Each structure stands twice: as C-alpha cells, then as structure tokens.
Structure 1
Amino acid sequence: MRARSRPTPKSSANVTRFLETLFTGYLRQPYWFRPIPTLQPFFMSPASPTQAPPISFEDTRVAFASKSDVQLRKVYALFAAMNNGTLVKTGSGLMKSALKWGLPGTKFLIKHSIFEQFCGGETIAECRPVTNELGKYNIGTILDYSVEGEGSDRSYDHTRDEILATIDEAHRSKHIPFSVFKVTGVANVAILEKIQAGKLLTPQEEAAHARAVARVDALCARAHQHGVRLFVDAEESWFQHTIDLLAYDMMAKYNRETAIVWNTYQLYRHDRLDALKAAHDTAAEAGYFIGAKLVRGAYMEKEARVAKQRGYDNPINPTKNATDALYDESLQYCVDHIDRISICAGTHNEASSLLLTQLMQQAGLAPNDPRVWFAQLYGMSDNLTYNLANAGYNTAKYLPYGPVAAVMPYLLRRADENTAISGQSSREFLLIQKEIRRRQGR
C-alpha cells in the first residue's frame, strides 16, 4: 500500500507564505499604510413611494462605508490574488493540502482571510456580529448553511435541523428576512433524478423519498409559522423539475396569504422563463402566491458536459447576451405580475439591478416594497448592495457559514467563479482601489 505523502519543508513554507499573504493583506503597495479616515454609517432619508434617489454603482464612498483601513487593505489583497487565475489554482491546491496535512495555523489563517471575506462564521452564533453590522446599513442577511451533505439519513436530518435553526434565528432577528436550503441537503439526489426520469421507485426508495418530503415540509411549516421567507435553491437540470414540483406543492400549502416559499429560476437555461410563467398561471388559478428568486446560474460547465455525455441538447442559452436578455425579460414579467409574484433579483449584474429599479419606478412601486428584493453574495459586489440599500431598496447578503474545512468546497468555488466570470475580480479590485485613493484624497 502506497504511503501517504507528507509535506516537505519547502511545500509547507509555500503554503504558509500564500496564506500569510491573504491574511496580512500585504502586496507591496506602500500607500496602503498611510492613514485613511474611517467612515461612519450614513444614509439618505427614506425615498418617496415612487421616486427613489438616483443610484450610482460607482459610489465607493457608500459601497465601502463599513470597511476600516485595515479591512479595505485585506480585501484589496484578496481580490488582487483572485485576479490571477494561476495563483487561484495554485493557492486552492495549497489550502486543500494544508488542511489535509494539518499544518499548524492553517485553519486560523484560512478563517481570517478567504473564509472571513466570504463567510459569516462557523456557527449561527458566530454570524451574529456580521448580521448586526450589515443591519446598521439596512442590509439583511440570508444565513446559508454551506456544508455539503454525506448522503445519509443522519446527514439529511442534521441539515434539516440546522436549517430549522436558521429559520428560528430569522424569526428572532429583524435583520434576517430569508432562510435558504438546497433540497439535496435533505434528499437523495439519485432518487430525485429517478423521479424526474419517470422511473419507478423501489419500496425502499419510496420510503426514503417520503422522509425527504417530510423534511422539506418541516422546513416550510416552520417558516410559515414564523412568517420567514424561505428560498428553495436551484440545482442541476436533470433533477430540477422534481425540485420544482416539490416547491410548488409547498407553495400551494403555505403561500395562501403571502409568498413564504420561494423557488429559484436559473435564467441561463432557455426554458426557465416559460417555467416561471407556467408556475404563475397555476398559482393564479389555484389561489396562492409565487415567490421567485431569479439568478443566472451556477452549473454551466457541468450542464454542458452532462448534456453531451447523455446525448441531449444543452439546456443552457447559447450566449451570455441571450442569458442577459432572458433574465431582464423575467424581471419585467415579475413586475408586470407583482400582484401574484414576489421577486428577488439574485444578481451581481449592474445593468439588471438598475433595470429592476427602473421597472419598479415605472410600476409605481416604492423602493422598499416588501415584494421586491435584491441579493448578492457576502464579500462580493458591495457597490450594488450598499448603494441599493442606501437608496431605500430591500437588499440582503447571502451569508454562508459552517466549519472551515467543510465550507472549503464553497470557498474554492467562489475563488474559481471570480476568476472565471469575465472581469469580476478586476471589477471588485478596481472599485476597492478607487476607494482607497478617494480616502487618500487622490
């Protein structure tokens, strides 16, 4: 049997050097270390019902008002590193190896660098300072338990209990407007896929699926009991329809008075606006409300690969422009049917965010209309979140949490996505650089 390799002194030093760079925020930029005035929270007066103040997503004074000198430097260093695709790839491998080898200080360095940037903590309690800080700027928090399940009933039950705890936390806190979960966190993926394919389940599979449905129902029932909105996250297309049907069943049961259960629509799929329209028609006929979180999508490469392997047409739009157009058309559809559909624009796209503010004004909707929300990931696109909140719009940050090692897959995806999304890291980097220079009076 081959012995597991151990870190060499050189590899250990490389790991430590990489993590220390992220932790300290030191990238040989001398002007970072000159005094920078700390800004205090500030906001405009509430907007009138239909006339919000003009929004500029270039306003870094608002976007980074919550960041101190040191925090801004650390974030600058992190996005500078994430601008480099080779460094991200190498650093990701080093971090995984460091955790695997148990190198001293690894967890501490990760927790106070990339983890601190994109996550709230390891537990709900650790997230509270972040939740309260966001709340000072009229920004809500969406606690997102980001630990991937192990595929056992014990794991599914644990995830259910953790999501129930986030719902209870939302009920207690005025700063937490939503909870969120993935169906695959409480249900067997193979069974979901088998149902979508129209295959018969064995008695054991039927029993397992019944337990999964009961877990989902328990989450929705608790959310309804406490009046907490609950997102059902979107997943891969080969079992998404099963998730849709489950979400609609829960909507029919719990969305009679208002939108408690919200489904998620990935608009990089060419069929999702049609799915939203069909869901709206059914809801209108049956007398319940729709909650719709609109995103572009998170599994593009995987979708293309699986479609090719299985011999069916790729469900993803042929171009980014097509996805952008479909997303914006979906925003328009939701606003046109706001009497039945509540909407959350889960996007880092400035054009789509601005469009939704314009559609709201055209429809005579107040910026703080409770049926319309904007959401971004914690640690990203603060120029959107803080400027929207400052103008009076309902905004929230997805705040992942969980044990450092267990959340690493999520963190590495964030790093990869920032590198892969055209200009995303560069955009974040330049905005932070602009704010540093503004504070320096340049």
Structure 2
Amino acid sequence: MLHSRGYVISGVKRLDGKQLGKHVIRLAKASDASPHDKSARSKSTSAIPVVTAQHVEHIRPMNDWKLNFEDTTQSLACKSSYELALASAIFQVCSIQPLVKNAKDMYSYATKVLGHGIPDAVVRASFFKHFCGGESSGDLKPVVQKLGVHGIGAILDYAAEADVAHTPEARPGMSASAEAMEQQFEGNARIIMDAIDAASEVSASGGKEGFTAVKLTGMGRPEMLSRISSILTWLRQTFARLDDDGNGLLTQEEFIKGLSKAGSNLSHEELCSIYQSIDANKDSMVDVTDWMDSLWPSDPKFSLIFTSSFKHLQGPQFRSLDDEECYQYQTMLDRLEKLAAYAELKGVKLLVDAEQSYMQPAIDHLALVLMRRHNHENPVIFNTYQCYLVDSFDRVKLDVQRAERYGFVFAAKVVRGAYMHQERKLAAEQGYPDPIHPNIEATHKNFDAVVDFLISRKGQMDPETFKAETEEETERRKKLAIMIASHNEESILKAAEKMNQMEISPAQSGIYFGQLQGMCDHVSFALGKKHFNVYKYLPYGPVKEVMPYLLRRLEENSDILAGVKKQKKLIMTELSRRLGWRKHASC
C-alpha cells in the first residue's frame, strides 16, 4: 500500500522518502567526523543499518498501489451466486435499447392496469435491489456494512420527492401554487436532513466518512436558477467585452472607456469610484473573479448591475430580478445554508449535483457561497463539474483561484456528464453554440486533464510554491478534496498513478473515487482492497417514490449500461468458476 513514496532497500528495513533522506544525511555527517572521533561515528550510525553502494542500487519505488481489475475472486467475493446471476440478467435487459427507452411508459401502463402492488414487487426484487440501497435508513445499514467490510463507503441520496398533501395559505403577493412549491422545497430540504442523519449514522458504524447528495432544483425553482444563470453569463460576457487586450485583467482605463463608449453619462470620478469598489485587492487590476464576486453578492438586491450605473451595458434583453425573484433566491440560499450547517455539524460531506448548463452558473455560484462559509477547516461542500462541457476546465481553475484568494478549502466532484442529448437538442433549438465537447475522446481527455490538475495542485512539491505560501495556505491546499466519479478504468488508473507520483497516500488523501451502486463492482472492490477512498452512490427511498428517479437514471445511463461488456464477462467468469461448489460466496 502507498503511504507517501516508499522504498525497498536490499538487506535493509523499508524506509520512506523522508526517512531515507535523514538516513543519508546522518551517514554524511558520520563520514565527515574525524577518523579519530569514534564516538561521533558510532553515535551517528548506531540506530540505523549501514547502506552500501550495492544497497543503493536496489532502491526502487513501492508499487503496492497497483490495481487489478481482473481478479474476480477478490472483486466479486462479496456477491452471492444469486446476486451475480441477477446482475447478469439486469445488464442483459439494459442492453436492449428499445426496452430502456420505453421503460417509463411500460411502468406507467403496468401500474394503471395492475396498481402498484405487483409492478413494484417485481421492481423491488430486481432493478431496485441491484441499483438502490433500500426503502429506509434502516434498510441501508446491512448494505453499508457489507460494503464497509471491503473498504467501500456510501454516498446516500434519498431519491424520493417530497409530497405536498395540501395547498397552504399563500403568502401575501404570492399565488397559492407558488406557495405550494415553496412548501415542497421545504419538504425536500427535510428529506435531505434525514439523509444527512442517515449518512452520519452509517459513517459512525462503518468507519468511512459520510456523504450525501443534494440537487438544487429540489431546493428552488429551476426558472429562478435559469434567470440568475443568464445574468451571471451576461456579467462574464460583459467583462470580456470591456477587456480590450484580452489578457483577463480589466484596468481602470478600460472600464471607464467601455462604459463611456456604451453611453454612460456618469462623471470620471463616479466611474473611478465604481471601479475601486470592484477592485477587491486594490491593485488597479480587476480580474474576472473580482468582477463576478463584487457585482453578484450573496444578496442580489444590492448588486450594482441592477443600478443605473450599468444600464448602458445591459442591452434590450437584460431584465433585473424583481422583488419576488429576489425573495425566492434568498429563501433558497437560506434553505441551503441550513443544510450545509447541519452537514458540517454532523461531520457529513454534501455533494452539490450538477444539472443542465443553462442553470449551472447559478448552481456554481450558490455552491461557492456555501464553500466560503463552511469549508474553512475541512471540505464540507463539494461542487460538481461536468467535463463534457467545453468550459469546465476553465471553471475549475477559476474556482481553485477563488478558494486560494478567499481562504477556503476547495472541494470538487468531477464527472463526465449526464445531460448530453438534452444539452445538444436545446442548443440546436435555441441557436447557441453546442456546449458539449465534439466527441467522447475529447471528453475523456478533458476529464483526465481536470483530475490531473487538481491532484497536482493538491500534491504540489515545487520549492518555489512552498516559499510563496504561508503555512496556513499550504495546509489548506493539502486539504483540497476531489471526488473522482467515474466508471472508466483508464481514468481511474491515471488518477492512481498521479497520486503515486505526487506521493499522496490513498487512505488519508482527501481523494475519493465513486461509482454507482450495481455498476463497476470489479473497480470499486479493487480500489477498496488497496485502501483507496472509494464510495458507492446509494439511492434509497420507497419504491413507488424512487421509481421516477430510477427510470430517469436508467435513461441517462443507457449508453453506459448497454456497454458493460467487461462487467458481464467478469460476472460469467466468476459464476463459471463457482460451478460445482454449490455454495455462495460469503462476505
């Protein structure tokens, strides 16, 4: 197992890199001592073995971290033969594309004709059993304990939606339906609180850090997130327009020239005053982080962009948030703040899910607001970056810069993405550029580049960087956390190799790997065996309420499910190996 960089020296005990350095220094001091000073030489070498040139030739890096995804006796040991047969059958069904695409309609028809009893019983014994953790937090415990035996943790996601039993009295100025939606969001928040409690409990019993996931469209209106995203996008585009030389820095001269050219009638002194309020570092240079964070504060009611000072930059399509939208935004932020504070109190990490690109700028903003408030000592809030988006790498680098500037621990969940078909269709309908990389190879390359960048940043060993950092900054950088959510073996091997190069220990690294429950078990169990921080994404909730989620995930991952040839092959290999034993593997 990799514990930093370890070395094996022929005929000598195992030393890690730091110990080896001390060992050589002590030998050097001993050799510098006078040949007549036997006590000095004896004192320097008595506690350590002698390393000769012959020994040094045999120094080699440890390779204990090497992962084996082919050994089914290890990776599938926890599965009974019945579970393996069930998995094989499910993957076979999932490879039939027409069946997957029409699964929602088929389930709906079955429940209309038969009620929920028989259809839900069939689903419970098959797809639900394979891909979900159970119907309640009590059901989760044996599943989590079973995973824990093999070094695997759980990311809990209560996948059911809150049900509003009645429409309450409307708040003055708000329709009854709008108030009902707010009540539903409150119900969803209570569900996430329950999931945080469950994650805390299973973490305490299983020894792994607790994780739970939150989807922001369950905490507030998608329309509001889309409105805020359009304003944030406009802000970024406006910065680019004002930045004449395109160097990513906006001078006072460029700012004043741009607003004057747009038709502003403010005086030179007034424009200088606005610029200075945006220049957070007071260095006469405004970068895109200064620009975005100064002009879009936590409470948008106080944003300068809604004042007359910026009206000449707004354009005909620009519309300020009205009082109701500001209320919705603030209510949503308050709701998320309660969840984040509760997660921090319970020692649980909160993964903010990514969603469609037209809502993502607002989601990014809210996640970063929560990071600044709660990621002081340890990573609590993780934002998700979908690497099939062309701008994802730039956004990651910008947000790492924000974390360094504002003094919080950066934490990211890195995924390839789940809304490709929908994104491309919407871009074609609305006539804007396709936000997705042109092919899967480009997405793979970008995903690996993002992961490599983050691991390199976390394990930075450049002496010049150390000199420039304070001790507090170094400590915070080393706490940078990454959830590498991937089923791609090559990407996982590259990440593990990078950790090895940067001398980052798998077990205490703050680098996590995640796979869906029921998917890529041979990868998850191999990671667990080598003491990497690996987790299964474990949705749970009543079958009837989880089915919309399960059907949606089935459709989103239809391409992946159709291509799990290796996993099916490994399952059949293990089943064949067991034939004749007539007994199930035990955990």
* TM-score normalised to structure 1 length: 0.85
Over 3 Å counting, the alpha-carbon distance change for 1:412 and 1:321 in structure 2 is same
User: Is residue 523 of structure 2 the alignment partner of residue 384 of structure 1?
Assistant: yes
Distance 2:555 2:506 in 1: 34
Residue number among 362, 369, 372 corresponding to 1:249 in the alignment: 369
Q: Residues 148-173 of structure 1: CA distance to partner in whole angstroms, max 9, x if unpaired?
A: 56781121111111111222222233
1:173 match: secondary structure? helix
2:495 corresponding residue in structure 1: 356
When structure 1 is superposed on structure 2, of 164-173 and 64-73 the one drifting more is 164-173
User: Is residue 298 of structure 2 the alignment partner of residue 286 of structure 1?
Assistant: no
AA aligned opposite 1:192 = L
2:134 corresponding residue in structure 1: 121
Residue number among 173, 178, 181 corresponding to 2:211 in the alignment: 178
2:429 match: secondary structure? helix
Q: Residues 101-143 of structure 1: CA distance to partner in whole angstroms, max 9, x if unpaired?
A: 3164221111111111111112222222211111111110111
Residue number among 192, 207, 213 corresponding to 2:333 in the alignment: 213
How far the C-alpha of 1:413 sits from its partner, in A, is 3.3
Distance 2:339 2:423 in 1: 28
When structure 1 is superposed on structure 2, of 260-269 and 61-70 the one drifting more is 61-70
Over 3 Å counting, the alpha-carbon distance change for 1:89 and 1:276 in structure 2 is closer
2:386 corresponding residue in structure 1: 266
2:554 corresponding residue in structure 1: 415
Distance 1:419 1:133 in 2: 27
Q: How does 1:185-224 map to 2 (within 5 A)?
A: 185-198=218-231, 199-224=319-344
User: Is residue 421 of structure 2 the alignment partner of residue 306 of structure 1?
Assistant: no
Residue number among 61, 64, 70 corresponding to 1:58 in the alignment: 70
AA aligned opposite 2:565 = S
* Contact kept? 2:514, 2:536, Cα under 8 Å: yes
How far the C-alpha of 1:423 sits from its partner, in A, is 5.3
Q: Residues 403-440 of structure 1: CA distance to partner in whole angstroms, max 9, x if unpaired?
A: 21222233223433454238533333222112112223
Q: Residues 362-418 of structure 1: CA distance to partner in whole angstroms, max 9, x if unpaired?
A: 000111134100000001010111100111100000101122122223322343345
Residue number among 95, 99, 122 corresponding to 1:109 in the alignment: 122
* Contact kept? 1:119, 1:378, Cα under 8 Å: yes
2:195 corresponding residue in structure 1: 166
2:481 corresponding residue in structure 1: 342
How far the C-alpha of 1:94 sits from its partner, in A, is 2.5
Over 3 Å counting, the alpha-carbon distance change for 1:148 and 1:320 in structure 2 is farther
2:184 corresponding residue in structure 1: 155
1:235 match: secondary structure? coil
Distance 1:107 1:421 in 2: 25
2:83 corresponding residue in structure 1: 71
Distance 1:169 1:241 in 2: 30
Over 3 Å counting, the alpha-carbon distance change for 1:92 and 1:196 in structure 2 is closer
User: Is residue 573 of structure 2 the alignment partner of residue 434 of structure 1?
Assistant: yes
1:100 corresponding residue in structure 2: 112
How far the C-alpha of 1:320 sits from its partner, in A, is 0.5
2:368 match: secondary structure? helix
AA aligned opposite 2:110 = A
1:375 corresponding residue in structure 2: 514
Residue number among 235, 239, 262 corresponding to 2:359 in the alignment: 239
How far the C-alpha of 1:87 sits from its partner, in A, is 3.5
Over 3 Å counting, the alpha-carbon distance change for 1:385 and 1:201 in structure 2 is same
Distance 2:100 2:367 in 1: 36
Distance 1:434 1:227 in 2: 41
Distance 1:427 1:61 in 2: 15
Distance 1:427 1:154 in 2: 46
How far the C-alpha of 1:264 sits from its partner, in A, is 0.4
How far the C-alpha of 1:272 sits from its partner, in A, is 0.6
- Cα RMSD, aligned residues only: 2.0
Q: List gaps (5 residues or longer) in structure 1.
A: 1-45
Distance 1:326 1:47 in 2: 27
* TM-score normalised to structure 2 length: 0.65
Structure number with larger C-alpha Rg: 2
Distance 1:96 1:169 in 2: 31
Distance 1:369 1:332 in 2: 18
User: Is residue 465 of structure 2 the alignment partner of residue 326 of structure 1?
Assistant: no
Q: Residues 201-255 of structure 1: CA distance to partner in whole angstroms, max 9, x if unpaired?
A: 2222221221111111011111122222111110111010001011111111111
Distance 1:105 1:308 in 2: 42
When structure 1 is superposed on structure 2, of 432-441 and 279-288 the one drifting more is 432-441
Distance 1:148 1:81 in 2: 27
Distance 1:277 1:373 in 2: 19
1:84 corresponding residue in structure 2: 96
1:251 match: secondary structure? helix
Q: List gaps (5 residues or longer) in structure 2.
A: 6-61, 164-179, 232-318, 459-476, 582-587
Over 3 Å counting, the alpha-carbon distance change for 1:395 and 1:208 in structure 2 is same
Distance 2:343 2:457 in 1: 24
Distance 2:554 2:229 in 1: 32
AA aligned opposite 2:547 = M
Identity of matched residues, %: 34
Distance 1:59 1:413 in 2: 32
AA aligned opposite 1:181 = V
Distance 1:137 1:300 in 2: 34
Residue number among 108, 122, 133 corresponding to 2:146 in the alignment: 133
* Contact kept? 1:418, 1:424, Cα under 8 Å: no
1:237 match: secondary structure? coil
1:207 match: secondary structure? helix
How far the C-alpha of 1:89 sits from its partner, in A, is 3.8
AA aligned opposite 1:323 = T
1:105 match: secondary structure? helix
* Contact kept? 1:191, 1:209, Cα under 8 Å: yes
2:537 match: secondary structure? strand
